[in-house]
Amino acid sequence: MEQFLKDQIKITLSGTKDLTYNIKLYNNPFVQRWANEFKQILKNKLLLEKNYCFLGFADSIRNLEFLCKELNHAVSQINKFNSSQKWQNAGLDPYPITKIFSPHDFMYDEKLPIGRAVNGDEMATPGCRLKHEACNQLHRYFEDLQGQAWKLSDYYYTADDHTKYAIRQLNNLCHEIEGWVNAYRKSKFEPEWIRPSQITTFLHAPRKPLQETDYNLFLKNRYDRDLGGVYLHWSQVGKTLYEVWRDNDESVGAEGINHQQLYSGEFDIEWGQTITDAHSFKRKETQEFKAWLQDNNYNWDDPKLALGYIKLGQVDLVDSFGTDDFLNIYKQLIDCLNIKTIEYQNYKVDYDYTLDDKNWKAKQIKELKKGYESHSLR
């Protein structure tokens, strides 16, 4: 039985009416260290990334058409700079992205049959399914243009602030598109299995290396996801082994696969129904993944592969929402997809900006510029 730290995280969302929920943190050495990192984020009032926060909500106004429009704005900025004199003076090879993205690139037509796979054949019900190929290509654009957290690319060093921002959006929008398409499809025939989540990230959140004993926490939780579960955020560029297998991404070479080595005081919340190996379909998926690992000479029981998610704590659902029923909680959340305040111990930070603010993009770029300047000194 997990023991909890005394202090809880309190988060207030704003919308048609304010909604507040509390996070109980596990009492173990890693979470204690994580909590100190989180506290520093609040102390320094780092900018919360509100444009990459609530993913997988099928009813969000940030739908596929909206996200494709944002994506094409980012691509246009990258191509504009790619043809600039500064790019050429740096001696960089051209990196044009010739694709203009549309909803059709990411999702099969909803007029096609929609439903569960038939005898394992997903394409018997292709309607609204995610097209992994476009997402894989988009993720590769991002990795090539930005590089790794510990080794930024020459493209990224050379780019101006607006282009650096656009490169960052390739990754954010790719994941947001994946989450929305999967949620939209489920809403058509299994709304109780939509997988919404909250990705709580901050610009310039410091990263620390995981310690040897921390890796055992991946093995402890594996890929279980609890409704209201709070999990360590992925703080690196690249794909995990699970993502490579899930996305059937044959284009990823060894350099594109990353096992988690770093952590920050950031976190994700699972707002979908609890799913564990107690569910037969999840157990089958785990068996298939383990077989793939073995075929590719990876050991399922090697902790350094970070095969799973580290769970940090749990939202107190009944106390916060008056229920632990997923659909009821979803209905409460959908009208409040904006973080207003976060409180922990003696810190309370107001996030009074929204995506509707005319200066939102400029505010992000201004904050990101601090990091760009520091990177250029490395």
- Strand pairing class (267-270; 197-200): antiparallel
Return the SS3 of 314: strand
The 8 Å CB, 24+ separation contacts for 300-304 are: 301/219, 303/215, 303/216, 303/218, 303/219, 304/215, 304/259
* Residue bearing tokens 């890929």: 223
Count, residues in the chain = 378
Report whether 47 contacts 367 (CB < 8 A). Answer: yes
What token pair was written down for 32? 């204690």
What's the CA gap between 371 and 358, in Å, rounded? 23
The amino acid at residue 198 is Q
Return the SS3 of 232: strand
First to last CA, the chain: 45
Q: What is the number of helices (H) and of strands (E) in the chain?
A: 13, 13
- Domain ranges for the chain, please list them: 57-194
Q: What's the pLDDT score for residue 268? A: 98
What's the CA gap between 197 and 174, in Å, rounded? 15
Biggest CA-to-CA distance, the chain:
61
Q: pTM for the full model? A: 0.90
Q: How many CA atoms, within 13 angstroms, populate the side-chain half-sphere of residue 255?
A: 6
Q: How far is CA 275 from CA 31, 63, 171, 290, 328, in A?
A: 23, 25, 26, 18, 17
What's the CA gap between 215 and 23, in Å, rounded? 23
Burial class of residue 156 (count of CB atoms within 10 Å of its CB; 0-12, 13-18, 19+): middle
What's the CA gap between 171 and 173, in Å, rounded? 6
What token pair was written down for 370? 């601090």
**DSSP letter at 245?**
H
Helix axes 161-189, 132-146, angle to 10 degrees: 160
C-alpha torsion 44→48→49→54, nearest 10? 150
Instruction: Note the helical H segments in 57-111.
Output: 64-82, 85-89, 103-106
Of 198, 192, 159, 157, nearest to 176 by C-alpha is 198
Instruction: Note the helical H segments in 233-303.
Output: 241-247, 280-295
Spell out the per-residue pLDDT of the chain, length 378, in tens: 789 999 999 999 998 889 999 999 999 999 999 999 999 999 999 999 998 999 999 999 999 999 999 999 999 999 999 888 888 888 888 888 999 999 999 999 999 999 999 998 999 999 999 999 999 999 889 989 988 766 788 888 899 999 999 999 999 999 999 999 999 999 999 999 999 999 999 988 999 999 999 999 999 999 999 999 999 999 887 789 998 898 887 666 666 688 999 999 999 999 999 999 999 999 999 999 999 999 999 999 999 999 999 999 999 999 999 999 999 999 999 999 999 999 999 999 999 998 888 888 888 888 877 765 433 322
C-alpha torsion 304→309→313→314, nearest 10? -170
Q: How many CA atoms, within 13 angstroms, populate the side-chain half-sphere of residue 38?
A: 28
